Structure 1
Amino acid sequence: MNFSPKRKTSNITMLIAAFVIVSLILWNTNSFFKKFKEEERLKMEIWATAQLELIQSSIDQELGNLTLKVLGNNTSTPMILMNEEGSYKTHNISEDKVTDSIYIRKKIEQFKSENEPIQIIQEDELLETLYYGNSEVLNKLKYYPLALLLIIFLFGAVIFFFFRTNRASEQNKLWAGMAKETAHQIGTPLTSLLGWNELLKSEDINPEVTQEIAKDIDRLQTITERFSKIGSIPELREHDIVAETKKAYEYLKQRSSKLVHFSFSSNMEEAYVLMNPPLYNWSIENLVKNGIDAMKGKGNIAIQIEKKGQNIHILVSDTGHGIPKSDFQNIFNPGVTSKQRGWGLGLSLVKRIVEEYHKGKIKVFSSSKEGTIMQISLRAIEK
């Protein structure tokens, strides 16, 4: 897909703007987080001072009430207050964990990693050490940038897939319109050819000539019908897939080079599936022609039909150069081709006919330097 320089510049500008906006949001969030953490530190230092005042002023009842009020205001920050003897008190920690010494030690290590402990000292004597962790609000704020990035990513992904789907839909409508217009344009000269062929039949001409012309005219009518069906929902009816495949096989065999050797086999006389014959035959022809191109016009083409369970498998094999395993899925994408001349629409069209219209499956069954086998699978109708 080619983009104009103007569009490239626009895309780069949008990417830079998005990067700048995200960077500013993250920087602002980080600054707010640091500021909030400093406020919590200050609150803990005030609480430690109140704890010291409580120790010093046990006689002064009025000061004690004020101190207790300060101490009681903290209801969110988890804390562990430990003295020199190893005795401890907890605040805002689950009561069922208070007596678990192992849990308390782990919590102290966690708090030390989150915040520097505050020592409560009186006259150069260490009385207690306050270990405190991040409050619930601060923990939530810590993960806010990740949540914000996830939201931005999801929003961007929704926009991307919306425009991608919209663009694909427009391209499909364009191709369908072109196909229908092609079918319409072919119709006029095709009608003229029918008239000229009838005129030739009245002349003294070898009947085999007019018969072959009639076959090619029928072929053109089939091609016109195929193109007219693109973009429309085809009508599916019960048909013998063995007979329809053999019909496509015979046509291709007669009109291919003598250097290409064809073979056809089936493990059943007939098998019925829901299909649209013109579109199905088009798929077989595309697979065979791809195989002939891969063999550079010389080699073996084999078509095999077999039934396994409730599915009918149609295997089209060639003796070409093979397909790399990494490209097994890519070859069905529009525009992917190994030919110097070609639009890479053949296999993409086959996939659409088989999977979207006939509700079947198509895949690369196997491929190596000795050749490739393509497999179409359709649901059988039990008689």
Structure 2
Amino acid sequence: MNPYKYNKQVWKIVLLFFAAMIGIASLLYTNYLVKNLSTSERTKAEVWAMSTRSIMTMPDVDDDFISFIYAVRDSLSLPAIITDSKGNIIFWRGLDSTKTNIKEEEHNEGVVYDPDYFQKQLHIMKGMHPPIMLDLDTGESWFVYYKDSSALQQLRIFPYIQLSLIAIFLTIAYTVFNSIKKSEQNLVWVGMAKEAAHQLGTPISSLMGWIELIRLKYDAENDDVVNEMERDVERLEIVADRFSKIGSTPSLSNHNVYRVVNDFINYFKIRTSDKIAFFLEGDKHVEAMLNVPLFDWIIENLLKNAVNAIGTEGTIKVLITENIAKEEIFIDISDTGKGIPRSNFETIFQPGFTTRKRGWGLGLSLTMRMVSYHKGQIFVKESEIGKGTTFRIILKSNLKYEPTQV
């Protein structure tokens, strides 16, 4: 199991869980408030309707009582319309006065009304609530339609605004947290790498001294074994130099890509099984801006992965081609190993991902990092279970690069 991916998934699930709980609680409570407020507004609309009926159907009532009825009626702030049984508008309140009170100055015909506006508002009200029916003494019926107050309308959409803000907040929080985590990881990488380079310095110097003593004591100036030992110690020096460059700005210079890859393969293949064949093909003249120790690290990690995937016997092929139109160099490293499931094409580059029991899962993560220092890309071009895998590195050819911190 990839602990990096597992921890990331756990954090996502936790954040989503809390977001869902907040969202559900907000929706439930807001729905409760909306329901109560809606009931209250309907009661107000019913009181207004009855008071309006009293005013219009009981003209001989005492003036004080009429004043009271008017006060009750005018206390309603909801937009409302009363129609008869045929749908004719009898009375209204709370509508736009510029639409219900239009004066035609050209013909000086006084006050006229905008029927389209009334019908539109009536249609909206019918869609919001069932009408309040008022039975008259004449046997006729009036129907009262009303709209929600602006406060209730805002309250209905408030939870969605709130959920949107919560989602934005969680996104920002997760992004910031992830950025801080990556920054801390980078600091740990840099510290560990430089400390490793420092610790390797002393034993490497001692080994170089011991090799020279062996040559002098046993007259082994041209001994093949001693020469290979020296090459391995020099390789250790290169490894220490790689780690010392972490956190600093790498120096990139123009190199022949084929030659650099060929030199490393020649070093690497004699340290692996004779049953694994290496082939290097392609354009021998393409050039790119490289930091050779770091680029060797890229090739080394990919070749080691290929050897581990193959096991005992197989083939590793490196093909170098150039896309002249896009000024790109393709380096394809193919093996005849066990292959990679398509679902892991992206995951294998994450820190901690490994299929080996004793692996740390850092090789391909470091490889991607090194490729990015060269302003390039790396990905799984193709893979088939039981048949092998091809990794592709894309580099820019003959371009000047801005320096980037390792």
Aligned ranges for residues 1-383 of structure 1 at < 5 Å? 1=3, 26-58=27-59, 74=76, 77-88=78-89, 91=93, 95=99, 98-99=115-116, 103=120, 106-111=123-128, 115-123=129-137, 125-202=139-216, 203-205=218-220, 206-267=222-283, 269-308=284-323, 309=325, 310-355=327-372, 357-369=373-385, 370-381=387-398
Paired letter, 2:193? A
> What number of residue pairs does the alignment pair up?
369
Shift of 1:382: 6.3
Paired letter, 1:318? D
Instruction: Give the TM-score normalised by the residue count of structure 1.
Output: 0.85
C-alpha distance in structure 2 between counterparts of 1:91 and 1:60, whole Å: 23
Structure 1 SS opposite 2:352: coil
Paired letter, 1:329? E
Structure 2 SS opposite 1:336: coil
Are residues 15 and 291 of structure 1, via their aligned partners in 2, closer, same or farther at CA, if it must alter by over 3 Å? closer
Structure 1 SS opposite 2:355: coil
C-alpha distance in structure 1 between counterparts of 2:130 and 2:24, whole Å: 29
8 Å Cα contact 1:119-1:126 kept in structure 2: no
C-alpha distance in structure 1 between counterparts of 2:18 and 2:363, whole Å: 41
Are residues 354 and 20 of structure 1, via their aligned partners in 2, closer, same or farther at CA, if it must alter by over 3 Å? closer
C-alpha distance in structure 1 between counterparts of 2:42 and 2:86, whole Å: 25
Shift of 1:100: 7.5
Percent identity, aligned pairs only, is 34
Paired letter, 1:251? Y
Structure 1 SS opposite 2:116: coil
Shift of 1:224: 0.7
Are residues 22 and 101 of structure 1, via their aligned partners in 2, closer, same or farther at CA, if it must alter by over 3 Å? closer
Paired letter, 2:308? D
Question: Is the deviation greater in 343-352 or in 160-169?
Answer: 160-169
Paired letter, 2:46? E
Shift of 1:78: 3.8
Structure 2 SS opposite 1:125: coil
Q: Deviations over 1:108-144 (max 9, x none)?
A: 5412xxx332112223734310122322321110121
Are residues 266 and 102 of structure 1, via their aligned partners in 2, closer, same or farther at CA, if it must alter by over 3 Å? farther
Are residues 292 and 124 of structure 1, via their aligned partners in 2, closer, same or farther at CA, if it must alter by over 3 Å? farther
Answer 1 or 2: higher relative contact order, Cα 8 Å, separation at least 6.
Answer: 2
C-alpha distance in structure 1 between counterparts of 2:125 and 2:154, whole Å: 20
Unmatched 5+ stretches in structure 2: 5-9, 101-113, 401-406
